């Protein structure tokens, strides 16, 4: 009533014994034992779907196509979870799929130490076995059986009137402003990466530059004559192209600002509304050593005193982050590095954006 077949691309390491891998560079074994005993057949390394197809063919010879089975997908020790999911997907797309009613796993339910392989086991179902497999159990390591069902495909809702509201339009002043800011951010790529490397993974400049380039590339498609629609369009572009948490948070910032500006708020107050939403979802505040340390005082100054004071406040806010020895948000918060003397790259970018805007305003 149970058939099982394993395959692996490596042997396991036996504690206390020298590791000897009997496998060739491009070899795998089919039908190996749970304790690492040699398999009955040597096969070439192939893609997951082809390996699963071979196993399905061998297993099908012992199965009754007229009945249903439960399938256990077992990790023999060191297959990464992502690859086990690929294997599970391949099994459920194979010739075995039509007889599988329940699945258990994928998971390390019976391992052969650190063997880089997996096994497929099928048990013939009847009412008693099906009830038992679906019943709750105490051990947390046991993966509950789940019925095999087709996924629900839900069509994505389309924003009503979005395309009509964001038809391309031109405004020379807005175009110069957007282009100037993007060009400044692109020019800062190396500088921001260097600042980020002190505590992060050194890619803030590349991430910001990618977003800026994406906006520049789409400059002719923006509704520049409509400020609120322009902010919303920039939010859409950043969410799709910028990547990372910063892309998501800046998308929230611009989208919320667009909604507030469309509702009649001034630009400064709309940007403050965007900041409020961004900090709500991102969790960072003043003193946490993020872009908020420059952006919040700058936007408050913009609302109360104007652009020149906003640029000064942004610069002071960015410089203040160099005296913060530990971050309380973002990646550097859990790295735990001491950061005193280094300016936060996000805050530095904000200060540079305001400086570029002031320079453009003075030139005009």
SS3 of residue 122 by DSSP? strand
The single residue of 35, 140, 316, 361 carrying the catalytic annotation is: 35
The yes-or-no answer on residue 361 being catalytic is no
d(CA 241, CA 248): 10
How far apart, in Å, do the first and last CA atoms of the chain sit? Answer: 83
Residues sharing a CB contact under 8 Å with residue 187, sequence separation 6 or more, in sequence order? none
Dig out the tokens for 200 from the structure: 């992060």
Residues sharing a CB contact under 8 Å with residue 57, sequence separation 6 or more, in sequence order? 95
Element (H, E) at 73: strand 69-75
Residues sharing a CB contact under 8 Å with residue 226, sequence separation 6 or more, in sequence order? 165, 166, 169
**Torsions phi, psi of 2, nearest 5?**
-125, 130
Dig out the tokens for 155 from the structure: 């069509």
Catalytic residues: 35
């Amino acid at each position: 009533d149970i058939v099982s077949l394993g395959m692996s691309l490596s042997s396991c390491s036996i504690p206390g014994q020298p590791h000897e891998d009997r496998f060739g560079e491009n070899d795998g074994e089919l039908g190996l034992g749970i304790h690492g005993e040699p398999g009955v057949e040597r096969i070439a390394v192939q893609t997951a779907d082809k390996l699963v197809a071979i196993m399905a063919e061998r297993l099908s010879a012992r199965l009754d196509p007229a009945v249903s089975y439960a399938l256990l997908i077992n990790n023999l020790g060191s297959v990464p979870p992502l690859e086990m999911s690929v294997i599970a997907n391949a099994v459920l797309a194979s010739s075995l799929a039509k007889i599988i009613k329940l699945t258990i796993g994928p998971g390390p339910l019976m391992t052969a130490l650190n063997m880089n392989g997996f096994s497929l086991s099928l048990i013939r179902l009847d009412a008693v076995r099906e009830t038992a497999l679906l019943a709750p159990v105490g051990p947390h390591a046991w993966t509950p059986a789940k019925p095999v069902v087709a996924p629900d495909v839900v069509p994505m809702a389309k924003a009503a009137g979005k395309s009509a509201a964001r038809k391309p339009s031109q405004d020379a002043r807005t175009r110069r402003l957007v282009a100037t800011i993007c060009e400044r951010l692109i020019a800062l790529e190396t500088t921001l990466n260097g600042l980020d490397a002190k505590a992060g993974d050194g890619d803030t400049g590349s991430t910001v530059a990618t977003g800026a380039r994406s906006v520049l590339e789409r400059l002719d498609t923006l509704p520049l004559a409509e400020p609120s629609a322009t902010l919303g369009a920039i939010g859409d572009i950043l969410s799709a192209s910028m990547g990372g948490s910063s892309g998501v948070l800046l998308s929230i910032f611009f989208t919320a600002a667009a909604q507030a500006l469309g509702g009649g708020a001034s630009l400064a107050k709309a940007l403050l509304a965007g900041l409020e939403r961004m900090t709500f979802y991102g969790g960072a505040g003043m003193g946490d050593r993020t872009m908020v340390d420059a952006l919040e005082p700058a936007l408050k100054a913009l609302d109360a005193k104007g652009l020149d004071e906003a640029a000064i406040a942004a610069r002071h806010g960015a410089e203040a982050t160099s005296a913060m020895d530990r971050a309380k948000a973002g990646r550097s918060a859990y790295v735990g590095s001491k950061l005193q003397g280094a300016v936060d790259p996000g805050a530095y970018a904000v200060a540079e954006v305001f400086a570029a805007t002031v320079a453009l305003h003075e030139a005009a």
